[in-house]
Structure 1
Amino acid sequence: MRLENRPLIGILVTKRSSRKRILELYRLYHSLNLKLYAFTPADILWKEQRIIGLSLKKGIWKQSSFPFPHVVYNRCFNKKLVTIQRLEKAIGRNKCFNNINFFNKWDLYNLLKQSNLKPYVPDTFLYNEVKVSELIEKYKLVYIKPSYGFKGKSVYRVELTDNGDIHISLHSLNPRYICRKDESVQEKLNELLGPKKYMVQQGIRLSQLDHQYVDIRVLVQKDILGEWTVSAITSRVAYENYFNTSMCETIYDVVEILPQLVSLENINEILRSLHEISVKAAQEAETHMGSLGELSVDFVLDEQSKLWIIELNGKPQKDIYKNLKCYKRKIYSRPLEYAYYLSQIERE
């Protein structure tokens, strides 16, 4: 049995002040026949089985009491599943998507390492289980990043120089700290990192654009048929002397950048690989995370034009596409297409 023609879709957001902004974006770019409202975890009235949500009615923003939606699109950046699990009990299994969107990078690394994507994943270790000095000796360059991290925060670049000194950098390539040959790099790092859980990742020597670091971000989303599909492939170019591409100077459509990074005969092969690997990575992540509707896969190209997966993000930043109008409709309409698809499947 199909639901009414206009399914009710709820967008779950972190705080009330962001309901209107988020709702406006998703409303603007879709053309489906559905009802949409935004709400926060605090807006759910569990006993009454109602939700205080914000919606647009006849051009006026209005806060009203709604029944539970047919489908929930989770835009609440979280590690905890409690709210989502309670909602699923009320509206049906697999009727909420992006259940977990604050990914544990160590778990995902292990997942990808055991899949056929292993060749694309740099060697990675738990910081507290290895001798960092030995890894620095082996790879000459490593990155140390939090297991739970975003926007490149607290990512350290550690490089063994030709004279035997070790440079520790944060965001920019200029070292914040220099460990001389006889100094303990482990002691310095322990002091910097504190109690948080970190990973150590083999450093990749990147192909650069005019001496600037470049990454490739692939946004993968499910469509109206419930299939994973690539919505956008962009390149972020870091500021000069910075390695953190989250603090980027410019964002390009990848087809503008690739001819400057690789030989022309390799471009189509790299684009095909980006599509295939990203969809496969999304499928692998979903087996571990539960119901997902979108994620982004960050790649870099090394000096030999080989692709490496650097990480997966469960809540892709969509403001990076604001100047790439060709992508905007797709990236905002796809989650609602997938929500519509889920609404048409009978409750399990």
Structure 2
Amino acid sequence: MATPKIDVQVISSGILPEDVLALGESVIKQAKIPVQQPLSLQFGSARQTVSIVSVSRYDGMRISQSLAGKWGLHSGARLRLQYRSGSRTLALGPLIGVLVSRDYIDQPDKPFGSITMFCRELTDTCRSQGAYVYFFTPSAIHSDLRSVEGWVWGGGSWYRTTLPAPDVVNNRLTSRKLENRPIVQQFFREIKQRYGAVVFNEKFLDKSEVFEALAGDTSLQRYLPESHTLRNYTMLKSMCARYPVVFLKPVRGSLGKGIIRLSRQGTEGWLASFTTVGGTRRATYPNLLKFFSAISGKMKTVRYLVQQGLTLIESSGRPVDFRALAQKNGSGAWVVTSIVGRTAGSQHYVSNLARGGTLAGVRDSVAKSNLPQMFRGSAYARLKRAALDIAKGVDTRIPAHFGELGIDLALDTGGRVWLLEVNSKPSKNDNTPLNEGKIRPSVRMMIQYARYLSGF
């Protein structure tokens, strides 16, 4: 179905009535749009009955100022247009809403803080691909669930305006508390049921949920370190009997927060290394029961995953792991957009950038590591294969819609690939390709997938 890209021109309502849309003659022919007949004009959740008039030697769209104002459209926007003859609907779009955790109304030059440049990348990509994007927070959702107060880039600046509910929502909320707010969940349900909208990256993933789901797929078990939800001392004792090192990871943790590395020290003792903002805090315990008693109070509020310790490759004594960004493309298929190596900071054993980790390409990370030479040439291909397998497994086995996943992988000194974690809200810093141009491939891919979902 033809979806030509058209430039939007906003015309004074005294010249062009709200119920008239002026289209270039070539656009009308290409999309086979009937003229001077009542049609339903659709933009996200918004509907308006209009008649079409043809403009010769013109290939754009003219819309009245009053209608453009209601819908949050501005001159210079570029959209796709699709005529659906069965319903006599002329659809404009896709309209993409990106749900973010917070905005800063008093900083109009940087309304989204550290992710403002990412948001600009999205607006530039949408303009080149023929899509319209806005950014909104949970508090910007109107009580009728049909519209929002969103941020739009137009005329060289950011501004807030009222917009219809979108065709596609990319959920980039970074807090479970925000995501679980009733207005957010009601909005998701309403726009899906009433308007056929699609929400991707619908929810956070818990570590235990991921490992338990993937363990049910025999083809993925080779990537999974032994992992269990820590319920009691018997479970901890059993894991520590099998492995000289185990990790305790908060089931709902992120950015390496709260991870404990537990290793044998002597015949009876144990060394616990706790991640903190300032570095690693270490404590020794004469036996395992003493350690368990020390953390049992914490276990009343924090659920832990206890996981087999791995002998990861290192660079200058610092652990190295890899972040793969898997995304769905313009055909709805999973692809790996980027893989970067991450080396832990000098005071940490986790590699997150927030903990002082550094990025490098896979080849450089492997070359500087203690990975045996025989495994180096195939490292990238095996990491990519694992990321694709795991993304498909999460998509198949966990009941939610995902469009992109940050997949943390590791190589051990025997060349085996292991899964560390899957993140459904991957940071736009952690997975940045090091040889990026102005617009990252990951941003282009996100818009292509949104177009696929919306039929534009």
TM over 0.5, shorter chain: yes
Inter-partner Cα distance in structure 1 for 2:160 and 2:251: 38
For structure 1, list consecutive stretches of 5 or more residues without a partner in the other structure. Answer: none
Inter-partner Cα distance in structure 2 for 1:68 and 1:105: 32
Residues 10 and 38 of structure 1 are in contact (CA less than 8 Å); yes or no, is this contact kept in structure 2?
yes
Task: Report the counterpart of residue 106 of structure 1 in structure 2.
Answer: 208
Instruction: Kindly report which structure 2 residues correspond to 1:94-243, keeping only aligned pairs within 5 A, or say none.
Output: 95-100=198-203, 102-115=204-217, 116-129=219-232, 131=234, 132-171=236-275, 176-181=282-287, 184-243=290-349
Inter-partner Cα distance in structure 1 for 2:337 and 2:288: 50
Q: How many residues align?
A: 343
Task: Report the counterpart of residue 284 of structure 1 in structure 2.
Answer: 393
Residues 99 and 289 of structure 1 are in contact (CA less than 8 Å); yes or no, is this contact kept in structure 2?
no
Task: Report the counterpart of residue 253 of structure 1 in structure 2.
Answer: 361
Instruction: Kindly report which structure 2 residues correspond to 1:48-63, keeping only aligned pairs within 5 A, or say none.
Output: 49-63=146-160
Task: Report the counterpart of residue 443 of structure 2 in structure 1.
Answer: 332
Amino acid at match of 2:150: G
Inter-partner Cα distance in structure 2 for 1:210 and 1:145: 25
Task: Report the counterpart of residue 12 of structure 1 in structure 2.
Answer: 99
Inter-partner Cα distance in structure 2 for 1:211 and 1:187: 31
Question: Could you give the per-residue CA deviations for residues 104-150 of structure 1, whole angstroms, max 9, x where no partner exists?
Answer: 11111011111111111011111114521332232111100111110
Question: Could you give the per-residue CA deviations for residues 179-214 of structure 1, whole angstroms, max 9, x where no partner exists?
Answer: 014862211221454421111101111121111111
> Is 1:293 paired with 2:389?
no
**Structure 1 residues 332, 182: CA separation in 2 closer, same or farther (over 3 Å shift)?**
closer
Inter-partner Cα distance in structure 1 for 2:143 and 2:389: 37
Among 86, 97, 106, the residue aligned to 2:190: 86
Task: Report the counterpart of residue 306 of structure 1 in structure 2.
Answer: 416
> Is 1:27 paired with 2:123?
yes
**Structure 1 residues 5, 82: CA separation in 2 closer, same or farther (over 3 Å shift)?**
closer
For structure 2, list consecutive stretches of 5 or more residues without a partner in the other structure. Answer: 4-81, 83-90, 105-110
Tell me which stretches of 4 or more aligned residues in structure 1 moved more than 6 Å: none
Amino acid at match of 2:137: T
Inter-partner Cα distance in structure 2 for 1:311 and 1:82: 29
**Structure 1 residues 195, 61: CA separation in 2 closer, same or farther (over 3 Å shift)?**
closer
Question: Could you give the per-residue CA deviations for residues 194-238 of structure 1, whole angstroms, max 9, x where no partner exists?
Answer: 421111101111121111111111111111222111111011111
Give TM-score, length-normalised by structure 1: 0.90
Amino acid at match of 2:390: A
**Structure 1 residues 336, 62: CA separation in 2 closer, same or farther (over 3 Å shift)?**
same
Give TM-score, length-normalised by structure 2: 0.70
RMSD between aligned residues: 2.4
Identity of paired residues, percent? 24
Task: Report the counterpart of residue 70 of structure 1 in structure 2.
Answer: 167
**Structure 1 residues 82, 160: CA separation in 2 closer, same or farther (over 3 Å shift)?**
farther
Amino acid at match of 1:307: V
Inter-partner Cα distance in structure 2 for 1:258 and 1:90: 50
Residues 212 and 241 of structure 1 are in contact (CA less than 8 Å); yes or no, is this contact kept in structure 2?
no
**Structure 1 residues 26, 48: CA separation in 2 closer, same or farther (over 3 Å shift)?**
closer
Inter-partner Cα distance in structure 2 for 1:41 and 1:51: 9
Amino acid at match of 2:155: K
Inter-partner Cα distance in structure 2 for 1:266 and 1:182: 36
Inter-partner Cα distance in structure 1 for 2:455 and 2:433: 34
Structure with a larger share of its residues in strand: 2
Inter-partner Cα distance in structure 2 for 1:277 and 1:63: 42
Residues 213 and 242 of structure 1 are in contact (CA less than 8 Å); yes or no, is this contact kept in structure 2?
no
